[in-house]
Amino acid sequence: MSGLFNRLPQFPPSPSGIEREVLRAMPKLTLGGSAAFLSPAVLMRLWYGWSWPLSGEQALISTDIFLISLLILYWTVLFTVALGAFIVLVMKGPGYVADPYPLQDAERPNPHLKSVWPR
């Protein structure tokens, strides 16, 4: 297991960019945005009370459905942006040595390697 992650020697580090700021802001954006999207439904209930006339009840249900759909869209956008920032963060990390892969058509092929395809 010691040779599982071999760092590339003398790999130039990439400077951190806006991806760290985006990832740090995600909790605040999630909570603040969710509260902003849910506040109209709460305000409607507080303003008019829990006793709605029959026509107002339909408006309340329609508002709830609309706000929930906007909230799910907002969460999806935040997740997509956070995933992109995380991928950039990982890609800017240290370089690792991959397993060697012998090329069959190299300029100086290894005579010990046998070709799978008949010639």
pLDDT (tens digit, 9 = 90+) per residue, 49-74? 666 665 667 778 888 899 999 999 99
Domain residue spans of the chain: 18-91
Secondary element (H or E) of residue 32: helix 18-48
Q: What is the pLDDT of residue 82?
A: 97
- pLDDT score at 58: 76
pLDDT tens per residue across span 73-94: 999 999 999 999 999 998 888 8
Closest CA to 3 of 74, 99, 75, 113: 99
